[in-house]
Structure 1
C-alpha cells in the first residue's frame, strides 16, 4: 500500500485522469496544472528508469536511462512534427541544439559555480571529460554543422544518403562512448568517494514487485508525457507568438523539460563534492540527446517522408563553437574553478538573449 502512495505513481495517474477529463483544452488553470504534471511525470519516468537500471546493472542500466530520456524527447518531437507537418521541420534541430547549449553552458556551468562556491575547488578525471567531449564534438558537427554546408540539397538539409550516414555515425560514436563508460575505461568515470559517501555507494536491492511496478509506471509516465506535451504545444506556441518571441523557443522549452531531472541530479552531486558524477550526467545526457535522438527522428522522417532541417545558421554555429571551446578549456586540467562556471553561464545568457534579440 505504501508503494502505491508514492508520488511517482500518483502523478502519472492524476495526469492521465486530467487528460481524459477534457478540462485542459478550455481552461487556463487546468493548462497550468497540466504543465506542472507534465514536468513531474518526466521526473517520475526517470525515477522508475533508475530503479530498473539499478536492478539490471551495467551496462544495461545506463542504456535504459538513456533510452528512457530519448523516448521522451523523440516522442515529443515526432508527435509535434506529425501534427504540424513542414512547419515543425526544424523542431528536432532546435530541441537538440537547445539541449546541447543548456547542458554545456547551463548544467555544467551551474555545477562548476555551485561546487566551487561550496568546496572552493573540486577534482575530476580529465580523461573521462576528454572521451565525452571528443565524442560530442564529432556528433555535433555531423548533425548540426555539416548540413549547413553540404551541396546535395539546397538549404540546411541532408539528402537521404547523407542523413543515413550521419545517423549511423552518431550511433557508432555513442556506442563507443557507452562502451568506454561502462566497460573499457570505466575507471575514468568513477567518483572517488569519501567515507561520508561510502554508505550511498552500495547497490540497492530491488525486489520483483518493485521492479515490475516501476517497469509498468515507466511506460505509463512516458505515455502521458508525450500526450500532455502534444496537448499543450498549441498553447505554448500561441503564448510565444503572441509575445513576438521566436518559435525556436518551443525547442528550448522541450529541452528544459527533458533535462530537468538530470540537471537537478547533477547539481545535487556537485554540492556533495561529486563533480565527476555531475560531469558524467551532463556529458552523457548531451551525447544521448544528440546521438540517439537524431538517428531516431531521422528514421521516422525518412519512413514517413517528413522534411527535417538540421543545419544551424552561422551565428548559432559560432555560439556552439564558443560553448564547446570554453568547456574544453574549463575541464582540461581536472580541477574546477568558479570563473569557469561564471563564463559558461554568461555564454548561456548570450544564447538566450541572441535568440530573443537576433
Structure 2
C-alpha cells in the first residue's frame, strides 16, 4: 500500500508540473497579481500614441516579428551580447518602438516588480495602439513569459522579407501554424505605416539584375515612385506610405492597392499569384470594414499565441533588453 501511495503522489506531482509549465494564456491573467497593469499600459499608449501615430504600425510589426521567432516571448527586445540577437537581424533593423516598450515596462515594474512580462507588454501595447488610432480591437489573453534566447540567424530565417514570393510566405506562415487566410489578413496590416525606399527599390531599378523594373508593379505607380520618392536604388532615407493617402487609417485601402498592382513589396504582389489568396484579397476588399476587423482580430489573436511560454518556462525580465541573469 505504501508503494502504491508513493507512486500516486509521484504521478500527481508530475501532472502538476506538466500543468504548470503548459498553462494556457487567459484574459485578465494579472487581475490579482498586478490589477492595474493593463490600465497602465492602455493609459500610456492613449497619452502618447497621438504624438507619433506611425508608431502604431511599428508596434504591430514588432509584435509580428517577435512571434515569428521562438514564439511571442519578447526575444525581439533583447540586446546583443556575445551572441548576436534578433534585434540586429536585417528584418529588425528598421523595427521601431523599443524605447516606447521600455517606458511602459518601467511604469509597470514600479507598480508590480517582476510580475508582468515584456512579451505581454508588446502584445497589449500593439493592440492598444491600433485601437487608439481608430483601428480594430481584439482579445489579448495574457500570461506569456519572456524568453532568454535571442538569435540573429533565426530572425533572418523566420521573418518574411518584403521580397518574399508566395511559396516562401506560405512556408513561413505554415511554420507558425498560420494558414493562407491568416496570411492575407495579417498582410492587411500594411494598410497603415511606412517603408523606406530600400525595402522595395529593386522593383523599380534592378528587379532581375539587369536594370529592369518589376513587371508585376503598376508601371504608372512605379514611374511616380521613381520621380517623386525613390530617385535612386540606394535611397535609404526617403519614406513612402504603404497605403497612400490613408497611412494612419486602418481600412481596406491596402487590398485596393494590391488589386491595382500598387502594393509596395513583392510580398504584397505575391498575394495575387495564388488563386486562394487572390480570392481572399477580393473578398475582403468587397466586404465591409466590420467584417475585415472581425476576421483580422481572429488572426492576430491566433498569432499572439504562437509558441508562448507560460507557467515556469522562461522568466519575467526586469529590463526588457536584458535577461535577468
Is the shorter-chain TM-score for this pair beyond 0.5, marking a shared fold? no
Structure with the greater alpha carbon radius of gyration: 2
TM-score (norm 2): 0.30
Point out which structure has higher relative CO (alpha carbons under 8 A, 6+ apart).
Answer: 1
